[in-house]
Amino acid sequence: MTYSLNDIEEIVTELALKIHVPLNLLPSFGNQKWDAHPYIEVDNLGYMFYIISERGQEYERKGTNNIDDLLYWIFANVTFAMASDYELKNRIADKDSRRMMFQKQEELLGQLNDSWRQKENARHHSILESHPFDDLAGLRATYCGQLRQQGLSEPEIYKLAYEKYPAN
């Protein structure tokens, strides 16, 4: 099936209402703003594009003829922003911020489509294989800032910070 920009916008709006997406997080449709805000295009053959561009340069362009792929890309981005905001408002100092963010993003995606939740869960697990949770990173970063203000050298700062707040 071929979808017009109006069709896609209607579907996105309907899904966004289910999870109370702030309007500023939704992509634009057919008109780019060049401010790193995602936008959607459909070519004359019905191929759909998810694009991010800023200051005259395109940073990301994904294309598909599958509406489910496009919707996943849109809502993976939207729910990440929502989950980041949620984590910031509910931050726990001695917990890796990604714990709450990943959980919230998967929860939001799951309210829309369980296969999107599963796909994002797999992506999160892949990230964590290379970059495991580090619950003391935030405390360590704050402490590093305090030590910098005292004029200590970077090697000494890191030594002291990792002694006080070791990595997992």
pLDDT in tens, 51-107: 999 888 889 999 999 999 999 999 999 999 999 999 999 999 999 999 999 999 999
Percent pLDDT > 90 in the chain is 90
Give the whole-angstrom CA distance, residue 17 versus residue 5: 18
- What does the pLDDT look like over 128-139, one tens digit per residue? 999 999 999 999
Name the E strands within 65-121: none
Give the whole-angstrom CA distance, residue 102 versus residue 125: 10
Q: What pLDDT score was predicted for residue 55?
A: 86
Alpha carbon distance, N-terminus to C-terminus of the chain = 49
Q: What pLDDT score was predicted for residue 32?
A: 79
Residue 58: beta bridge partners?
Answer: 53
From the centroid of its chain, how far is CA 81?
5
Q: What pLDDT score was predicted for residue 12?
A: 98
Are 111 and 18 in contact, with CB atoms under 8 Å apart?
A: yes
User: Whole-model pTM above 0.75?
Assistant: yes
Whether 34 shows a pLDDT value over 80: the answer reads: no
Whether 23 shows a pLDDT value over 80: the answer reads: yes
The answer to whether the Cα torsion of 95, 98, 103, 107 is positive or negative is positive
Please give the residue that has the higher pLDDT: either 31 or 142.
142
Are 107 and 121 in contact, with CB atoms under 8 Å apart?
A: no
Whether 168 shows a pLDDT value over 80: the answer reads: no
